[in-house]
Amino acid sequence: MGLLPDSQPHLASTVAAYLPFAGPDFRYIYGLFGAILGIALLMVLFRVFERYREGRKVQRSSWLTYEKMAKVKGLSNVEIRLIAGVLRRAKVQRPAQALSSILFYEKVMDQALDRGWISDDDFSHLERARGRLVRTSRSWDGQNRRQFERGPCAFEVNVACITKDSIDEELKTSYEESDEKFVQAFNGLVAESRVESTRVQDLSAGGIALLAGDKDQFHNGDYLAFSEIDGGSPIDLSPIRGCILDAEHMEEQHQVILHVRFLPYDGELRKQVIRTVYEESERAQAEKREKVGGGKKAQRSEKAPAKKPASKSPARRKKTTAKKPSDPSG
């Protein structure tokens, strides 16, 4: 017990021996340690600030890259602003990835739809932006194409149009498209609606484009029910409900192109739609290659000149070498 008090002066004198001042005053020792800790803390804070500033710089650079890429891909200012808003709400660190990867774009937009970040009008702009991104994408792997490509299709499908006003009048309260009361009202109104024949122009897992006769019965915001024509379609769309985003009237042809988004539907059926899109796209591309290849072959056969008969080459002359005179000295 008596060693501890005696050891303090000895320790103080030992530490003080290495200091540039005399006397075992621990205030200087504590001050030295405090200065060291203060310097270390300042270094840590400086490092944190540098990393924060570097992160902000990288983030600004990422958004500049996003804006440049969006303009290169032909997106409008409204589309650029809407996509940027969704990406910021989703806290995406590399926004340009949404423009270079259709898989990532679809993933973020599906999340935004599930959380109610996108209105019907905004969705129409985002679908058009998606179409531009698909057309300007250069390198896709097979998986991305099979899952998210909007492919051209050519088959007929029957539709029944249910106006939004009739849904509102039936329910008389606010509703969501996933509510059971909406589904019941929708199914009840389908039975009373007139069925029209349409032709599919293109198809994706998120929507469809239809060509129909322009009888002024299709309007933005109205809903569609699908029914299969016997043997006329590669997939049964009857379990899916749709909402008209845009009705593009072609007055000269007396027709209208309906841009329709699908309401949420079963995941297994979604896989079937994706597979159908891929198969129809591959079939259309194969027919196009065959048509182009056949046309080029016919052009080559027409333009190819008649082969001239091979002319006999003149007989080669034998080279004669003059004999050298013999050396007389030899």
Q: How far apart are CA 222 and CA 242, in angstroms?
A: 9
Closest CA to 62 of 86, 92, 26: 92
What's the confidence (pLDDT) of residue 317? 43
What's the confidence (pLDDT) of residue 149? 59
What's the confidence (pLDDT) of residue 325? 46
Over residues 212-223, the pLDDT tens digits come to: 987 788 999 999
Residues sharing a CB contact under 8 Å with residue 205, sequence separation 6 or more, in sequence order: 147, 148, 262, 270, 273, 274, 277
Closest CA to 121 of 152, 91, 79, 156: 79
Residues of the chain with pLDDT under 70: 1-26, 55-58, 135-149, 231-232, 293-330
- What are the domain boundaries of the chain? 26-143, 149-286
What's the confidence (pLDDT) of residue 138? 45
The fourth-level CATH superfamily of domain 149-286 is predicted glycosyltransferase like domains (2.40.10.220)
Closest CA to 158 of 250, 229, 217, 56: 229
What's the confidence (pLDDT) of residue 166? 92
What's the confidence (pLDDT) of residue 248? 85
Over residues 268-311, the pLDDT tens digits come to: 888 888 888 888 877 777 777 777 766 555 666 665 555 555 54
